[in-house]
Amino acid sequence: MRRDLFEADHEALRETARTFVEREVVPHQDAWLEQGLVDRSAWLAAGAQGLLGIAAPAEHGGAGERDYRYRMVLIEEFARVGAASFNAGTCAQDDLVVPYLMDLGTPEQRKAWLPQLVAGEAIGALAMTEPGAGSDLQGIRTTAVRDGDGWRLSGSKTFITNGIHADVVIVFARTDPDAGSRGYSLFLVESAAEGFRRGRKLEKLGLRGNDTAELFFDDIALPATALLGTPGRGLGHLMERLPLERLSIGATSYAFARAAYDWTTEYVFERKAFGQPIGDFQHTRFTLAELSTELDIAQVYVDRAVLALNDGSLTPVDAAKAKWWLTDLHNRVVDRCVQLHGGYGYMLEYPITRAYADARIQPIFGGTNEIMKEIIGRDLARQHRTDG
């Protein structure tokens, strides 16, 4: 299907990104998977090529370009070579940490961190999830209490993308237990702070080249300048930025599902059985026809969502729809592609096998797909009550 989403400037970035991926990513992926993290040298190389923090203002080293189509280009180029782990890290940095700083940071906070993040000299993380609180963010136990002009932060987080490498972490904490949804705030916590402690680098089913970690905050003394955004508005700040986070997950799923389909199409017309390419068997053709059609439909939706994000009209409900539908599709596509690979689809030397493991997290993080359906369902019920 013809795709009209991208313009000449986006395709120019694609050329740069493709060269970077072939030179700085492809040769090192096996090593990153074995060690469980992407080398910092790759982050620095990405920064040097202008592939990080594209949305950041020019005075902080970025391109000042919030058009999400540029990020979509990068996601697609990572997907083309199966670089899910590096993509996960850069999505956390560019679709979460950088926008939070841009939107909520003081001039001093932006000046301190954005240039480093854009250059790849610093790596950022967003810490929301706790061992007993995943999708239920109001169930967190991490607290920040007033201490003179500053704060004291105590608690722990888990499943934190970029947790081992992170130089700065945006931490979601409870600041007033009696204020309900107005009792949470965000803080910028430097990894060098006394009392900051990294726990285990977690062993995962997929995304094994990304450093996912436990983080501990042992009575950290934070200055007043560590507060990010408005005190008591932490939950609201998160909710306001969920459309971008969930579109990032959905866009990733679309790109990686498309890549899995492309690898599989190439494979089935090279692999022979019973004297002919397995792509010439009717069952294979029917499977490819179904996947191709579903991916074309998904492409229309994700492209529309990207443009809606750009013009500020992407609602939390529409983002939830994109997240659950695209991540479910991602898993269906990869599962059927593994089947078409036969026994080789179970061998880790084949990218489709790694893709199968990498895909499984997509319906879980960023809010489980069950939560996405609840968000959509509540909106439908609200509309029905209003219309009635």
Q: How distant, in Å, are the alpha carbons of 57, 236, 306 from that of 30?
A: 35, 40, 32
Cα 151 from chain centroid? 29
Whether the CB-CB separation of 241 and 99 falls below 8 Å is answered with yes
Task: Measure Cα distances from 387 to 282, 381, 384 in Å.
Answer: 49, 10, 5
Residues recognised as catalytic: 245
CA distance 350 to 113: 39
Give CA separation, 284 vs 183, 198, 343, in Å. Answer: 55, 48, 16
Distance CA 153, CA 151 (A): 6
**Cα angle for residues 251, 256, 262 (degrees, 5° grid):** 130
Pairing of strands 212-222, 272-273: unpaired
Q: Position 216: which residue type?
A: F
Q: Which two structure tokens, joined as six digits, stand for 83? A: 């670089």
Q: Which two tokens stand for residue 134?
A: 């995943």
β-pairing, 168-174 with 124-127?
parallel
CA 220 distance to own-chain centroid: 28
DSSP state of 305: H
What separation in angstroms does the CA of 258 have from each of 46, 87, 223, 366?
24, 15, 46, 21
H helical segments located in the chain? 8-20, 29-35, 40-48, 68-80, 84-92, 98-104, 107-119, 234-268, 282-310, 316-341, 351-359, 369-387
Render 185-225 in DSSP notation, one character per residue: EEEEEETTSTTEEEEEE---SS-TTS-EEEEEEEEEEE-GG
